[in-house]
């Protein structure tokens, strides 16, 4: 991964460089203390990811991103900000920002966001390669092939904003197990998690312990997806991902309650209730439906 840092605060740039160096997640290929100076450098260097401050003189972070995109830059962005208001989140989503790092900079948060972003980019590239391969197959008029379940699941997790979560591998394994068994309905979740762990090669003696860890990973990811969709809905409930996924995969009442809290900028927000069985059941059924299109 190649990173470019844009921040008018020298201390913030230094801290980010040090964290990136310590984590060995890539290299910093450039930096700038303003959006105006950053634009020609970024267009020339073409980094994979730009860490950019929201509040800067002359051009703020969002304006800088807009200019970069208008000039053809296709990399990703992480926004650095002291204040995350509803309006700012809305503008940032609209220009393509998917992750935020809060100021003052916290090393643990930076590490977590960088890992998730790097994984998301890697999986997006994998999906792009798969889609290009399928397009090439179709262009020479070969018989349609059943679309791999993994491809379908990753695409849907990406749409819900959780493709870089630690549970990605777990969820893919669960859907693959259900398809292999041609399950009419989901077994108890504990049993399902254990079957998925066996598929991924976990030793029998460790399955009970790993099953609990898998359950927690999946629940956290579902909560993250609910948060992501609620944020989209709070900005504009006609956004395609919100319209499609919110009512199908989740308790819509929980989503609308979370939207209301975001719109009111409430600081007393309770964690949303998670229905993991519903989420996995819908994901499994939709994967089957997608595969039928290729038969």
Kindly report, residue by residue over 224-253, the tens digit of the pLDDT.
888 888 888 877 767 888 888 988 898 878
> CB 116: neighbour CB atoms within 10 A?
19
Q: Mean pLDDT in the chain?
A: 83
Percent of the chain residues past pLDDT 90, beyond the cut: 28
3-state secondary structure of 280: helix
Q: Looking at residue 141, what is its pLDDT?
A: 47
Burial code of 261-291, b = ≥16 C-beta within 10 A, e = fewer? bbeeeeeeeeebebbbeebbbbbbebbbebb
Higher local confidence (pLDDT), 265 or 95? 95
CA distance linking residue 270 with residue 165, whole number of Å: 21
CA distance linking residue 282 with residue 197, whole number of Å: 21
Sign of the CA dihedral 173, 176, 181, 182? Answer: positive
**pLDDT confidence of 88, banded at 50, 70, 90?**
confident
Structure tokens at 7: 């921040």
pLDDT tens for each residue of 21-63: 887 777 899 999 999 999 999 999 999 899 999 888 888 899 9
Q: Looking at residue 64, what is its pLDDT?
A: 94
Which residues touch 172 (CB under 8 Å, ≥6 apart)? Answer: 149, 150, 153, 154
pLDDT tens for each residue of 128-151: 666 666 666 555 444 455 678 889
Burial code of 15-45, b = ≥16 C-beta within 10 A, e = fewer? bbeebbeeeebbebbbbbbbbeebbeebeee
**pLDDT confidence of 176, banded at 50, 70, 90?**
very high
Structure tokens at 267: 């600081």
Alpha helices, DSSP H only, in the chain?
Answer: 10-23, 35-45, 61-70, 86-95, 107-139, 149-159, 168-180, 189-199, 207-235, 240-249, 252-263, 276-292
């Amino acid at each position: 991964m190649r990173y470019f840092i844009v921040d008018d605060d020298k201390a913030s740039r230094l801290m980010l460089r040090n964290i990136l160096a310590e984590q060995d997640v890539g290299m910093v290929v450039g930096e700038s203390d303003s959006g105006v100076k950053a634009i020609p450098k970024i267009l020339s260097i073409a980094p994979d990811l730009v860490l950019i401050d929201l509040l800067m003189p002359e051009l703020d972070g969002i304006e800088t991103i807009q200019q970069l995109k208008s000039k053809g830059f296709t990399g990703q962005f992480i926004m650095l900000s002291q204040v995350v208001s509803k309006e700012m989140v809305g503008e940032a989503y609209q220009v393509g920002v998917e992750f935020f790092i809060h100021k003052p900079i916290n090393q643990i948060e930076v590490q977590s966001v960088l890992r998730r972003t790097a994984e998301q980019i890697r999986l997006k590239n994998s999906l792009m390669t798969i889609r290009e391969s399928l397009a090439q197959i179709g262009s020479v008029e070969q018989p349609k092939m059943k679309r791999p379940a993994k491809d379908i699941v990753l695409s849907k997790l990406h749409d819900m904003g959780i493709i870089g979560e630690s549970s990605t591998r777990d969820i893919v394994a669960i859907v693959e197990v259900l398809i292999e068994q041609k399950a009419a309905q989901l077994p108890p979740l504990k049993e399902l998690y254990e079957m998925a762990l066996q598929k991924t090669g976990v030793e029998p003696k460790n399955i009970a312990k790993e099953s609990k860890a898998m359950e927690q990973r999946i629940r956290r990811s579902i909560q993250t997806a609910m948060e992501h969709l609620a944020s989209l809905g709070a900005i504009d409930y006609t956004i395609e991902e919100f319209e499609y996924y919110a009512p199908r995969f989740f308790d819509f009442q929980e989503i609308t309650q979370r939207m209301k809290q975001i719109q009111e900028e409430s600081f007393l927000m309770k964690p949303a209730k998670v229905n993991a069985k519903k989420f996995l059941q819908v994901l499994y059924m939709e994967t089957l439906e997608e595969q039928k299109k290729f038969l």
